[in-house]
A = this chain, B = another copy of it.
Amino acid sequence: MKDIRMKMEDIGEFGFIRSIENNCILSPARIIKGIGDDCAVVGPYDGRLLLITTDMLVEDIHFILGKIPPEHLGEKAVNVSLSDIAAMGGEALNVFVSLAIPKQIDVDIIHTIYSGIKSVCRANNLNILGGDTSASPDRLIISITVIGEAAEGKVLLRSGANPGDGLYLTGTIGDSAAGLKLIKAEATAPEPIASRLIEAHNRPVHFLDAGRIVGSSGLASSMIDLSDGLLSDLAHICEQSHVGARIFQAALPVSRELIYMAESNRLDPYELAMSGGEDYRLLISVPARNKAKFQEIFDENAPCPVYCIGEITSGQGIELIRADNTREQVRVTGFDHFKR
């Protein structure tokens, strides 16, 4: 008899989330947003909204202990959650750190990971208010919860985009995926290119300042951070806003390091840029009437540039305009933990 039991790899991460997200809100008072955005949003309390996000990093899935310095692992564990707060336009406040630790691991490694966690907290004035510490049979697990705040009415969800909105990114994309290929020895690159790309993967930065500027400007219609890849995360905006999107390949911000590494390894840099994960840039939609003002704010005050890469459409799915002006309907192939 054939085994018809379904495995997680049959339904995938997003199939699983869809299967459990019904009937999750039983007390709707003060719930602005539950499952399905970068953070949950609860409130208002004294005119403020609470933002809550949680991320789990599993050894040999999200990181390989020998391939990332422990301090950088600690920094990254917090920064990826701060990126979720940034994507709502919020301010991060309090951090909870849960660790499941192999008994035989050197305490020094755990303390160094914790140093990385604390250095990010110090740099961003965050409190560590708790967590959980337990043993693990073999692999290290890091689960981080961050609670932040945003002013009422200033939170940016994934669901606000409208046809005609411009699409903006807060930085280059693809470097992290290129760095991962180097770490996994699936590609090579000379120094200092290799170090820069690996650094992009191991030490992602958050865009809390940029996110807050976007949120408080009132000029944007939606925002998300790029964790699974541009196409995959843009697809979340499209799905939740009931819109399509158009991307201009020639406008995608890619680094010289990525181009060099991709060409010398016969890889497509734009494939890495569009489908590679863990860039943690903000992807922002801005109504056409606000685009000039939005660009001006970033040109004048912001801590990072923004790049206009396309627009929201009334169509279905994502259309890619290649450099030679050919058009292609994109099949979204972002990262899914379970898919074969």
Chain A residues within CB distance 8 Å of chain B: 5-11, 13, 16-17, 19-20, 23-28, 31, 33-35, 39-40, 42, 45-46, 48, 50, 52-56, 58-62, 93-94, 96, 98-108, 110-111, 114, 118, 121-122, 125-139, 141, 143, 145, 147, 337-338
Q: Which residues of B contact A40 (CB under 8 A)?
A: 94, 96, 129-130
Whole-angstrom CA separation of A141 from B55 in the bound complex: 13
Docked-complex contact B133 and A98, CB < 8 angstroms: no
Contact of A6 among B35, B55, B108 (CB under 8 A): B108
Known: A61-B137, A98-B143. A7 touches B104 (CB 8 A): yes
Contacts of A23 in B (CB 8 A): 118, 122
CB < 8 Å neighbour of A121 from B26, B58, B129, B137 = B26
Does the CB pair B129–A34 fall under 8 Å? Answer: yes
Whether the pair B107, A26 counts as a contact (CB closer than 8 A) is: no
Q: Besides A6-B106, A35-B129, 6 other CB < 8 A contacts?
A: A8-B103, A8-B135, A20-B114, A34-B127, A46-B46, A54-B131
For residue A188, give the distance in angstroms from its CB to the closest CB of chain B: 27
State the 4 A-B residue pairs at the shortest beta-carbon distance, nearest first: A45-B45, A40-B129, A135-B337, A24-B128
Q: Are A100 and B61 in contact (CB under 8 A)?
A: yes
Please report the C-alpha to C-alpha distance between residue A143 and residue B136 in the assembled complex, in whole angstroms: 13
Known: A35-B129, A127-B26. A45 touches B42 (CB 8 A): no
In Å, the complex CA distance between A137 and B60 comes to: 7
Contact for A96 among B31, B103, B145, CB less than 8 A: B145
In the complex, the chain B residue whose C-beta lies closest to that of A118 is B23
In-complex Cβ contact of A34 among B105, B114, B130 (8 A): B130
